[in-house]
């Protein structure tokens, strides 16, 4: 016969407490821990009062604190250049080259030995401290490119030996020329397509520079986009940007899709590939100019014709407001890109004046988007902030010779490329493509002969 069990109430209570403790521990381990309030996670620590835009995790939302299709920069990557630039050099470049007014003071506070730079304008007090050097260093700053003075000796025959040059034939051309608005046709003449023209010119320049010893990379080798994305792939970004502008009609969205495709996205992809794979010492962005006409459907010819050369700089107030553009400007300043761009640009501007006979184009003295660069009285040299000359992480020379809807230029384009010379308005001239190429090649040859060590072979004692 079994004995009936009796349970002590104290045991029951202790058992229940043990079960509750186990449940609490399991629940705590599975709970989401709060994010620490650190600079490394600024997007997660902001409150709605400081947030100008939705969380960057919502990639389809338009962020007005970034340039179109821009990404949040890693400001710690500037640590490489701490204490490498003096206070005076920094102020000189910032105020005389890279900005057009004093709007920069909203984002950069300069002290005697450092500058405080706003990094994320959505977040109050998100800043980066850049420390200045007490004296100018003779050594080149850390960078992925070589200035002429950093190169080993060249020779009279091969003054560009070992120089890595990337050539960016502007625009796309071909079947995309109309979409990118770089196409016009007058009467029964062949259409003028800037993308086709820049590629023809680029191939000639490449051959000439290779003879002089340069390693040359064509960023675009045919009249097709480098990027694999097409307008339809930018639908979400276009809708978000249109909504931010108060435009929800289909025409506005389509226009933005197209622009993101042929300009913003395409140039960003070109820069990504060049910066990661080729790492050039110099990028040449080839373009031809044009002047506007009243009726887009009926292009007209003009008597105006000119050239100008652009370096990076002249950020406007709206561009400085973009966190990524401000970061990219500072990277250019700290790498001293302008020190190399300025003399190379001057040589090429002189080359255009010599080989084309064209006058220099001048922006208005009151321009809010361009800064005149003065060097030895050279005309036609300006700074502007363009996506191409901003994103390539090395010196960039952006070229704008010839006005495509000038009567003489239009006639020369109709002749195509040819060897030798032909009579053009009473003068024997090379094809417009070879004349352009000669202007650039001869200028670069002269620059490297003048600015790098040139090995002079000793005469043979037996002679």
* CB neighbour list of residue 33: distance below 8 Å, 6 or more residues apart: none
Over residues 253-260, mean pLDDT: 97
pLDDT category, 139, cuts 50, 70, 90?
A: low
Q: Are 423 and 408 in contact (CB under 8 A)?
A: no
Q: Which residues are paired to 384 by β-bridges?
A: 312
Residue 456's pLDDT band, with cuts at 50, 70 and 90, is confident
Flag whether pLDDT at 55 surpasses 80: no
Listed residue (380, 203, 401, 206) closest to 288, CA to CA? 401
Is the pLDDT assigned to residue 101 strictly greater than 70? yes
- pLDDT for the residue numbered 193: 98
Torsion of CA 120, 114, 314, 68, to 10 degrees: -20
Q: Pick from 306, 345, 328: which is nearest to 385 by CA?
A: 328
Position 141 scores a pLDDT of 80
Q: Quickly state the pLDDT bin for 136 (edges 50, 70, 90).
A: confident
Distance from the Cα of residue 224 to its chain's centroid:
20
Q: Report whether pLDDT(21) > 60.
A: no
Model pLDDT for residues 277-326, shown as the tens digit of each residue:
999 999 999 999 999 998 888 999 999 999 999 999 999 999 999 999 99
Spell out the residues 6+ positions from residue 221 whose beta carbon is closer than 8 angstroms to its own: 199
Q: CA nearest 68: which of 269, 322, 273, 281?
A: 322
Q: At what angle do helices 235-244 and 250-259 cross, to 10 degrees?
A: 120
Q: Give the pLDDT band of residue 458 (cuts 50, 70, 90).
A: low
**Quick one: tokens of 197?**
């023209």
Number of Cβ within 10 Å of residue 386's Cβ equals: 15
pLDDT in tens, 192-227: 999 999 999 999 999 999 999 999 999 999 999 999
pLDDT at 212: 98
Question: Measured between alpha carbons, how far apart are the two ends of the chain, in Å?
Answer: 130
Label residue 459 by pLDDT band (50, 70, 90).
low
Q: Which two structure tokens, joined as six digits, stand for 296?
A: 């887009």
Q: Which two tokens stand for residue 276?
A: 């990661």
**The tokens of 156 are what?**
């009279």
Per-residue model confidence (pLDDT) at position 110: 98
pLDDT at 461 over 80: no
Task: Report how far residue 163's alpha carbon sits from residue 447's, in angstroms, rounded to the nearest whole number.
Answer: 12
Candidates 282, 272, 329, 303; CA nearest to 97 is 329
pLDDT reported for residue 108: 98
Q: How confident is the model at residue 455 (pLDDT cuts 50, 70, 90)?
A: confident
Assigned token pair, 63? 């962020």
Q: What is the average per-residue pLDDT within 81-94?
A: 97
What 8-state DSSP symbol labels residue 261?
I
Residue of higher predicted confidence among 243 and 50: 243
Three-class SS of residue 400?
strand
**Confidence grade of residue 28 (pLDDT, cut at 50, 70, 90):** very low
Residue ranges of domains in the chain, CATH in brackets: 60-131 (no CATH), 148-226+275-455 (3.40.630.40)
Pairing label, strands 307-312, 396-401? antiparallel
pLDDT of 57 strictly over 60: no
How large is the average pLDDT for residues 345-352? 98
Residue 233's Cα: distance from chain center in Å? 22
Rounded to the nearest 5 percent, the helix, strand and coil shares of the chain are: 40, 15, 45
Mean pLDDT of 126-146: 87
């Amino acid at each position: 016969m079994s004995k009936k069990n009796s349970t002590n109430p104290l045991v029951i209570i202790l058992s229940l407490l043990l079960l509750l403790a186990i449940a609490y521990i399991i629940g705590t381990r599975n709970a989401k821990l709060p994010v620490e309030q650190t600079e490394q996670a600024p997007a997660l620590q902001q409150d709605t009062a400081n947030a100008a835009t939705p969380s960057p995790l919502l990639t389809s939302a338009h962020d007005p604190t970034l340039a179109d299709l821009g990404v949040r920069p890693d400001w710690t990557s500037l640590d490489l250049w701490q204490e490498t630039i003096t206070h005076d050099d920094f102020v000189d470049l910032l105020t005389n080259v890279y900005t057009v007014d004093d709007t920069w003071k909203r984002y950069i506070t300069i002290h005697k030995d450092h500058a405080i730079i706003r990094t994320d304008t959505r977040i109050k007090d998100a800043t980066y401290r850049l420390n200045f050097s007490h004296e100018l260093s003779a050594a080149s700053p850390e960078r992925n490119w070589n200035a002429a003075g950093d190169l080993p000796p060249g020779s009279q025959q091969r003054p560009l030996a070992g120089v890595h040059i990337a050539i960016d034939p502007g625009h796309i051309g071909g079947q995309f020329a109309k979409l990118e608005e770089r196409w016009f046709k007058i009467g029964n003449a062949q259409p003028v397509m800037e993308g086709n023209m820049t590629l023809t010119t680029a191939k000639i320049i490449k051959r000439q520079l290779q003879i002089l010893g340069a390693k040359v990379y064509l960023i675009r080798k045919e009249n097709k986009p480098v990027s694999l994305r097409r307008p339809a792939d930018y639908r979400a970004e276009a809708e978000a940007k249109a909504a931010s502008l108060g435009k929800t009609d289909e025409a506005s969205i389509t226009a933005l899709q197209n622009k993101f495709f042929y300009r913003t996205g395409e140039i960003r992809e070109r820069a990504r590939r060049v910066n990661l794979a080729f790492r050039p010492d110099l990028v040449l962005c080839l373009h031809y100019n044009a002047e506007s006409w009243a009726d887009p459907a009926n292009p007209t010819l003009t008597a105006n014709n000119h050239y100008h050369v652009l370096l990076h700089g002249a950020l406007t107030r709206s561009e400085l407001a973009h966190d990524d553009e401000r970061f990219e400007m500072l990277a250019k300043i700290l790498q001293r890109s302008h020190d190399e761009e300025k003399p190379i640009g001057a040589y090429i501007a002189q080359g255009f004046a010599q080989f084309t006979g064209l006058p220099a184009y001048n922006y208005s003295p009151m321009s809010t988007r361009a800064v005149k660069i003065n060097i030895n009285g050279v005309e036609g040299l300006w700074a502007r902030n363009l996506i191409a000359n901003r994103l390539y992480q090395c010196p960039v020379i952006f070229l704008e010779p010839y006005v495509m809807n000038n009567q003489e230029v239009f006639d020369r384009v109709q002749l195509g490329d040819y060897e030798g010379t032909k009579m053009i308005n009473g003068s024997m001239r090379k094809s417009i493509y070879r004349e352009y190429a000669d202007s650039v090649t001869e200028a670069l040859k002269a620059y490297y002969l003048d600015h790098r060590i040139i090995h002079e072979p000793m005469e043979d004692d037996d002679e």
